[in-house]
Structures are given as structure tokens and as C-alpha cells.
Chains A and B, each alone.
Chain A
Amino acid sequence: GNSVTQMEGPVTLSEEAFLTINCTYTATGYPSLFWYVQYPGEGLQLLLKATKADDKGSNKGFEATYRKETTSFHLEKGSVQVSDSAVYFCALSWANGNQFYFGTGTSLTVIP
């Protein structure tokens, strides 16, 4: 079946540190892959996405590359800021978004 596995948190980093949050998926075929972010007290917002193999999604300094060979979509940022403190969810979807599968979420705290 379809599933998403992401790195367990919580993750605590100092400002300007490098961030990697691992995400791997199980699916047949080529789903679309997403990273969503949930800031404290808010709903989920799309951070970035990739719809086919080798695509790189990027936004706000975050990047993730759709790797079919390793079934991965790891989130990276070269220099995190305090404002990046949030929960990050990896997800995959089929059928134009009508079937969505979320990872468990990874909490990130960035300290000054």
C-alpha cells in the first residue's frame, strides 16, 4: 500500500545550522510528493512539491528532490532561522489530490 515514513523528532538546531529531515515513501508508480509546514497555532501550508522523478521543489530556502531510485524526498535547508520553528509533514498524493498520505510530522525548534 501507500505510506510515508519521516524522521522522528523533535529536532533542535541552532540558528544558521544545516537542516535535513528525511522522508521515504512506499507507493507503486509515480505519486506527487509534498512538504507541508504547520507553524504554532496554525493550519498546514504547502511548503514545496514535486510531481515527477528528479524534480526539485524549493521555497523559502528549503529544497527537496524527488528520488525514485531511493523512494525519498528529503527536506533540506542550508541555514535555518528561528522563524523556521514548526512541524513539517511529508506527504504523497494520488488522483489529483483526492488520496493523500501524510507522514507523522517532524517538530523543528531553532534556537538563537
Chain B
Amino acid sequence: SAVISQKPSRDICQRGTSLTIQCQVDSQVTMMFWYRQQPGQSLTLIATANQGSEATYESGFVIDKFPISRPNLTFSTLTVSNMSPEDSSIYLCSVADRNTGELFFGEGSRLTVL
């Protein structure tokens, strides 16, 4: 299993500003995943963060809006840039157990953009 810590757990932000979410894992992992969960909806994968290479973004998500860093095997950040109210969501960091295929999640970062 993996224990994942995310910061901040929640924040209220002003339109046009940017916020960086941090994700710390208690073990070394190759891939880390960033998901978005909009109010009342399911999870949407934003990007996959690999250590030592550029993140891979899903359709509809771009690096300029959601830059990701992956400086080592236990840490990643996701920045939500130039925020608008439509970015109000829960952002979730996750890692996969390669042996079981299970996905582990952080507690999530709940962003509200005014």
C-alpha cells in the first residue's frame, strides 16, 4: 500500500491567480497521476507524471494551464494556473500498485475559485 499526503487540503482562490498543490508519497513510485473531480461528478485524469520526463496530458488538458513537476520518485506538484470559477474542483493525486493494479489516492485538495 501507499500513503499519500496532499497540501493544501482546501483553499479559496481569486480568479486569475495560480495555486500549486503538493503530493508526497511514502514510497518510491514511477508514475503519479493527477485527477480532477468536479462537483457531483466522477474522476477525470488530467495527466500522468513520470519522474525525469515531461508529464503526459489527457485530451482537454494542457501544460500551460496545469503545469506539473516531478523532481523525484516520491513527490509531485500540480499547478492550476490563471484560475477561473470553472476550475473549482477537488484535485486528487494517486499512485498505482503495480502488483495488484490498485490505485491509491491522497485526501484531495478542494479548490474554490471566486
A-side residues, CB < 8 A to B, are: 32, 34, 36, 42-46, 49, 51, 89, 91, 93-94, 96-98, 100, 102-105
Contacts and interface: CB of A to CB of B under 8 A. Distances in A.
Interface residues of B, number: 22
Given A43-B92, A43-B107, A96 B42 contact: no
Nearest to B10: A41
B29 to A, nearest CB: 10
Contact of A104 (B41, B98, B101, B108): B41
A58 to B, nearest CB: 15
B42 A103 contact: yes
B78 to A, nearest CB: 15
B43 A97 contact: no
Contacts of B99: 96
A27 B66 CA distance: 30
B102 interface: yes
B31 A98 contact: yes
Contact of B102 (A46, A103, A105): A46
Contacts of A98: 31, 48, 96
Interface string B27-62: 000010100000001110100100000000000000
B108 A34 contact: no
B97 interface: yes
Contacts of B100: 32, 49, 51, 97
A46 B4 CA distance: 14
Interface string B94-114: 001111111111111000000
A97 B92 contact: no
B107 A97 contact: no
